[in-house]
Chains A and B, each alone.
Chain A
Amino acid sequence: MQEDQPLKPANILNIVATNQGKIPLTKEYPKAKSLTAAQVKAMMVEGAVVVDARSSATFGAGHIPGSINVQLSSSEFEQRVGWMTPDDAPLILLMDQDEEAQEAIYKMAFIALHRRVVGFLEGGIDAWMEAGNHAECVPQIDVHDLHHKLSTNGLQVLDVRDEEEWDEGHIAKAHHLPYTRMVEQLTSPAMLGSLDLSKDQQIAVTCATGKRSSTAISVMKREGFQHLYNVTGGMEAWEAAGFPMLDAEGKVCNI
């Protein structure tokens, strides 16, 4: 009876335990402490996960390999961090500006997720690279280039929006997997393996605006997908450019 229900709230077990008084409630504003690149590197070896809270474009321009991109500006920031990171992993924040780390941990406290934050990388991605570490990129593709490449080479499209959004209009021949189904959740296993796509294919990933797709890409990169493109502006930009979309029945619905 639960398969077609929306996802359970992130961090639900810890939230209930906190509200029942079985885990102590934090009765002050939590502070994220600053970490050096060397500390971050060592913690990652021990299983910590970096949450890169910058925009999709800045994440794409250079990020720590293995980091998960959840934009601080996204409406469900703390939910998405909870959903997309392993339940027991310590979290390291990477921000655009250092002072934003406090805003991020504040939001996370609303669902008791702040307890997992070990700190933030002071100086952000610059500090990481200046310490001699490698950074990876995600090419961003606009909808015009996407439209062109779909008709001229073998680029695949993966749409990571929810079911209802997909039904309202999607790109012909696109693959579909909601981004929240890519990772293991409380009641549902990870479904990334169910995709009819191989890890060496060229895949353009899209959502409504380009945020969730970047989150999805960061997860897929951890799983070994190598050639991913983030669609800037997502399906809203695709529709605004006047390109065709299909509805749930496979009929063109916007032209």
Chain B
Amino acid sequence: MWFETLIREETGCATYMIGCQQTGECAVFDPLWDIQPYLDMAKTKKSKIRYVIDSHSHADHVSGATWLAEATGAELVLPELADIAYEATRVKHGDMIRMGGVGMEIVHVPGHRPEQINLLVYDFPRGDEPWFILTADFVLVGDVARPDLAQAGDEGAPVLFDVAIPRFLGLPDHVEVYPGHLAGST
């Protein structure tokens, strides 16, 4: 398994790519509007983009997911609760996406947005325990994301505290955390 972080320095937005050397496939999680960096990375890794996954309907930047899926023939994956006007494979809490020895488990973390999902990533040849979690716009550096940004705050806050945070705190202590933002208002 390989794992790469691609950051747009100007806005601190982080996109993650996860690949399996065995199958020569990879997944892109939360791509930004310009898809060229992901095409370049896939080429560098001699890997084919198999899955393009959006954690939620972002409010602070345009997603390149539909463009990237079209350009590569990859499967477009979105949370079951996302309100979208295009075709995509819908995933829900507990689903597992596999690429060879790599497993990406869907963790539903409502609050910032009702539909938001995180990816809990396993490298099965290494062990059965998860290795890291991609927390998108949920757990950020030193805080959790705002529940009042793209919805009313009193709708987002209860599920953030009752559902999302307990799920996160229930993970094994050794699980590494990779947020979707390094800076900015989310």
Stretch binding the partner chain, chosen from A31-39, A104-112, A149-157: A104-112
B57-A77 in contact (CB<8A): no
Stretch binding the partner chain, chosen from A10-18, A59-67, A88-96, A191-199: A10-18
**Contact A16:B10 (CB < 8 A) given known A1-B153, A27-B70:** no
Q: Does A6 contact B (CB under 8 A)?
A: yes
A110-B67 in contact (CB<8A): no
Q: Does B34 contact A (CB under 8 A)?
A: yes
B61-A110 in contact (CB<8A): yes
A8-B67 in contact (CB<8A): no
A110-B57 in contact (CB<8A): no
- Which residue on chain B has the smallest CB distance to residue A14? B62
- Which residue on chain B has the smallest CB distance to residue A6? B185
Stretch binding the partner chain, chosen from B80-88, B98-106, B123-131, B159-167: B80-88
Q: Does B149 contact A (CB under 8 A)?
A: yes
Interface residues on A, range: 20 to 34
Interface residue from A12, A27, A79 paired with B59 (Cβ < 8 Å): A12
Interface residues on B, range: 20 to 34
**Contact A25:B62 (CB < 8 A) given known A20-B84, A110-B11, A110-B33:** yes
Q: Does B58 contact A (CB under 8 A)?
A: yes
**Contact A111:B83 (CB < 8 A) given known A5-B146, A9-B185, A16-B150:** no
**Contact A9:B59 (CB < 8 A) given known A21-B66, A25-B67, A76-B10:** yes
B56 smallest CB distance to A (angstroms): 9
A25-B185 in contact (CB<8A): no
Q: How long is the Cα–Cα vector from A25 to B76 in the complex, in angstroms?
A: 15
Q: How long is the Cα–Cα vector from A57 to B186 in the complex, in angstroms?
A: 33
Q: How long is the Cα–Cα vector from A106 to B33 in the complex, in angstroms?
A: 10
Q: Does B47 contact A (CB under 8 A)?
A: no
- Name A's B-contacting residues (CB within 8 A): 1-2, 5-9, 12, 15-16, 18-22, 25-27, 29, 75-79, 106-107, 109-112
- Name B's A-contacting residues (CB within 8 A): 8, 10-11, 32-34, 54, 57-64, 66-67, 70-71, 82-86, 146, 148-150, 153, 184-186
What are 5 A-B pairs with beta-carbon distances under 8 A?
A19-B58, A20-B82, A25-B66, A76-B10, A111-B61
